[in-house]
Structure 1
C-alpha cells in the first residue's frame, strides 16, 4: 500500500461537471478543466465526486464522464472515481459495471438520508470493499449524508477490511480527525475534505486534500498543500491567507455553485447547474466578482 499512499498524497481535485445552456455535459469545457488542474500542479483528479453533481447524472452520463476523464488525463496523474450512495446492492453492481480499469481508487461517500447505524455503515463499506476491483477510500461528509462515520468505525474498517485504503474526512471535527490519525494503521491514507481546514489538518498528520477550490486555483492550492507536507507552514500560511476569502465565498450558498461562479469568471465554463441546484444569487456572485477584481 506504500505506493498507493504516495500516489494520492498532495492535492486531488474533485472535478466539477460543466453543462451547456441546454443542460448537456460540456465535454469541451471538461477537457479544459482537466488541463487546467493538471498543468496547475494537482497530484490527482477525482471524477464523479459530489462536486460533479453526480446525483443529477444518469448512469450512461457517468460512464461517459469516467471514460472521457481517463482519455484526457492519459495516465499523467492518478484518477479516483466516485461511486457512492445509499443503495448498497446497486453500488455493488456499479463496481462491477463501471469502466474502472484505469482507476487508482474508488471514493465512496457514506449512504445519505437512510442514516444507518455505525454497524450498518461498517457492513455497507465492508460489502463494497469485498466487491471492489480497486481500493476503497471512505468519504465521511455528515453535512451532506446526515450521519457521521465515527473515528471508531473508521479505525475498525481500516484495521479489519483489507481493501479499505483510506478516508476523505470532511466532518470538520478536529478532535475526530486527530483520533483517526492517532489510531489508524500507518499505511491508511487520511486526507482532508475541507479546503479551509486543510492547513491545520495536514499539520496534525493528514497527507493532503481532495479539494473543491483547486478547480479554480490549482496552482496556489497545490503549492500550499506541498508546503504543508514539507513542514513549511509559514509559506503555506502566506498562500492560504490569500485563499481564505475565496473558500468562504465558494461555500456561502452551495457547492458547486460557488466554485462554478469563480470558474465562469475565469473563462473555464458556463455558469450552468442542474436542478435542484441553481447558480448563485446575484448578491453572492457580485461579491465574487469584486473579490476577483482585487487579485
Structure 2
C-alpha cells in the first residue's frame, strides 16, 4: 500500500528573527495545508532547511509536526545524511516520534558508488520498521541513484517502498518505472514534471509549489489519478511561470518570500541562504498575482 497518492508538501520551517524555530507559524502552515487538501506533509526536507537544523532541533520539529497533524494525513520525516550512522540515528528518532515514513536523501559530498548507496540505504532502512522513500536529487548531492540500484533496493529491503525522483531526467525515470514493474512507488520531485511523471505511472509529487498553492497542486495530481491528463496538463502549464519563479533562486529562498508575501510569516532564512534578490522577487510577486494566490 502506498504511503500517499497525490501531493505531499515539502513544508518550510518558519524561523523567528533570531532564526530559532517559530512553532506557532509552523502550526499555521500545517493547518493551511490540511484545510486545502494536501495529501501528506514532508517535514525537515530540503525546503525545511534541515541542513542547518541541529540534531536536537531536527527531532523537535518532527515531534511537533507529528503532534500537530495528529494522524489526519501522513507525516514523512526527512532523516537522510551523508553519514550512514547519522541517518540511522535520525531515522530511529523520527520513528520513535511517530512519523509515518522517512525520506532518505542520497549521501551528499561523499558521492558514494552504487554499491555504497545500496549499503547506505539498506542499513538505514533495516534500522527502522516504517516505510522509507529514497530521494534522488543529483543537482544537490552530486550522486545519482541509477534505476537498477533503486529497483534492487526495493526488492531486497521490505520497507524501501518509494523514490522521490528529482533528476529531471524523464528518460531515466521512464526506465526506472519500466524496470520496477510496480515494486517501487515513484513520486515527482520537480513541480514542473508532475504530469509527465504521473503519466508514466508516478503516484504524485513531493512539492515546493504546494506550500503556496496546496489545493491547485492536489487537484493537478488528482486529475492525473482520475485519468484526465488533458485537464492535468492544462493545470501544469498554467503553473509553470510560478514554478519557475519558485526556483529562480535556490530553494527555499523564493518559497519563503512567497509565503511572507501571503502573510504566513515564514520568517527569515538560515545562512548561507540569504534573502531573495529584488529583481527576482518582483517577478515572483507578479507570477503569484497572475496565478491568483496573491
**TM-score, normalising length: structure 2:** 0.95
Distance 1:62 1:230 in 2: 36
Q: Deviations over 1:202-256 (max 9, x none)?
A: 0011010000110110011110110011110122123222211010000011100
SS of equivalent to 2:47? helix
Task: Say if 1:50 and 1:121 are closer, same or farther in 2 by CA, change over 3 A.
Answer: same
**After TM superposition, what 4+ stretches of structure 1 lie above 3 angstroms from structure 2?**
97-101
Distance 1:194 1:134 in 2: 25
Query: Could you tell me which residue of structure 2 aligns to residue 165 of structure 1?
Result: 161
Q: Deviations over 1:251-285 (max 9, x none)?
A: 01110011111111111124410001111101101
Distance 1:164 1:185 in 2: 15
> Is contact 2:77–2:94 with CA below 8 Å preserved after alignment?
no
Task: Say if 1:87 and 1:18 are closer, same or farther in 2 by CA, change over 3 A.
Answer: same
Which has the higher mean CA deviation after the structures are superposed, 198-207 or 62-71?
62-71
Match of 2:177 among 167, 174, 181: 181
Query: Could you tell me which residue of structure 2 aligns to residue 32 of structure 1?
Result: 28
> Is contact 2:8–2:207 with CA below 8 Å preserved after alignment?
yes
Query: Could you tell me which residue of structure 2 aligns to residue 121 of structure 1?
Result: 117
SS of equivalent to 2:77? strand
SS of equivalent to 2:256? helix
RMSD: 1.3
Query: Could you tell me which residue of structure 1 aligns to residue 258 of structure 2?
Result: 262
Distance 1:127 1:73 in 2: 29
SS of equivalent to 1:50? coil
Task: Say if 1:141 and 1:122 are closer, same or farther in 2 by CA, change over 3 A.
Answer: same
Query: Could you tell me which residue of structure 1 aligns to residue 60 of structure 2?
Result: 64
Match of 1:44 among 25, 40, 45: 40
Distance 1:134 1:104 in 2: 7
SS of equivalent to 1:12? strand
> Between Structure 1 and Structure 2, how many residues are aligned?
291
SS of equivalent to 1:133? coil
> Is contact 1:271–1:279 with CA below 8 Å preserved after alignment?
no
Distance 1:205 1:287 in 2: 34
> Is contact 2:245–2:254 with CA below 8 Å preserved after alignment?
yes
Task: Say if 1:261 and 1:111 are closer, same or farther in 2 by CA, change over 3 A.
Answer: same
Which has the higher mean CA deviation after the structures are superposed, 101-110 or 30-39?
101-110
> Is contact 2:13–2:266 with CA below 8 Å preserved after alignment?
no
Query: Could you tell me which residue of structure 2 aligns to residue 219 of structure 1?
Result: 215
Query: Could you tell me which residue of structure 1 aligns to residue 105 of structure 2?
Result: 109
Matched, 1:279 2:288: no
> Is contact 2:188–2:204 with CA below 8 Å preserved after alignment?
yes
Distance 2:198 2:132 in 1: 21
SS of equivalent to 1:279? coil
Query: Could you tell me which residue of structure 2 aligns to residue 8 of structure 1?
Result: 4
